[in-house]
Copies of this chain bind each other. A is one copy, B any other.
Amino acid sequence: MRLLLVEDTLDVAEAVIIRLERSGIACDLARTVEEARGYLEAQPYDVIVLDINLPDGLGTDLLRDMRAKGDRTPVMMLTAQFSVDDRVSTLNLGADDYLVKPFDQRELEARVRALYRREQGDKGNEITLGTLTFNPTAKVLRKEGVPVTLTRREFSLLELLIRNRGSVMSKDRLYEGLFSFNDAEVGLNAIELYIGRLRKKLAGSKVHIETLRGLGYKLDVDA
């Protein structure tokens, strides 16, 4: 999952990013509205967490512009004071959720995941494929009921593949979902590496990752 955090208070931002990155969400940080616009043009995000009060303007303005352009990316608003009026107008602008500062990190993560899930169209959060059950919120993968330990990156990659099962995911798309701009300079080779590691762990599960040379990878259930 690729997330954009727009927030000017550095310590809040850092705490959030550390937390989210640790659980496998690739985060980019923008500290102004302008910066955020740049990021948004550069690449698509799965979720945006947007502070309202920013040095060069209001987060709500950015939100309005996005919606006016037809961008439907889920947006969670953040702010310190949140009157009932603020709340209503924010939601009316097309925000999907909001959180009042100070907030609990765990709550933020849970809500972000909920937004992502909703976007993906998954009702439940447990996915069964072959002999695998995958639970993105609990971060647990089971093979025939037995837990399989996955590292952060392995988990993120598997989640991307599972959510797009049956479709070919180009190496670029996987790369975008896995790494943020901070993880600069990571080679594309890393994807191949993790694909290999995942394959080992998925062995004997009726689920396999197919390679399509020059196109990407595709996760499928054995016939």
Contacts and interface: CB of A to CB of B under 8 A. Distances in A.
A143 B65 CA distance: 16
A68 B121 contact: no
A69 interface: yes
Interface stretch (A22-30, A103-111, A133-141, A182-190): A133-141
Given A70-B166, A138-B168, A140-B168, A124 B215 contact: no
Contacts of A201: none
Contact of A129 (B70, B97, B139): B70
Determine how many copies of this chain the complex contains. Answer: 2
Interface stretch (A6-14, A36-44, A86-94): A86-94
Interface stretch (A45-53, A148-156, A191-199): A148-156
Nearest to A68: B128
B69 A213 contact: no
Interface residues of A, number: 51
A31 interface: no
A210 B70 CA distance: 15
Given A121-B122, A221-B68, A221-B69, A94 B140 contact: no
A100 interface: no
7 contacts: A67-B128, A68-B128, A91-B124, A93-B124, A139-B168, A140-B167, A152-B215
Given A91-B123, A92-B124, 6 more contacts: A68-B128, A68-B129, A70-B166, A91-B124, A92-B126, A140-B167
Interface of A: 64, 67-70, 72, 88, 91-97, 118, 121-131, 135, 137-140, 147, 149, 151-152, 155, 164-168, 170, 210, 212-216, 218, 220-221
- Ranked nearest first, the 5 interchain pairs of A and B with the lowest CB-CB distance are A138-B167, A92-B124, A152-B214, A139-B168, A70-B221
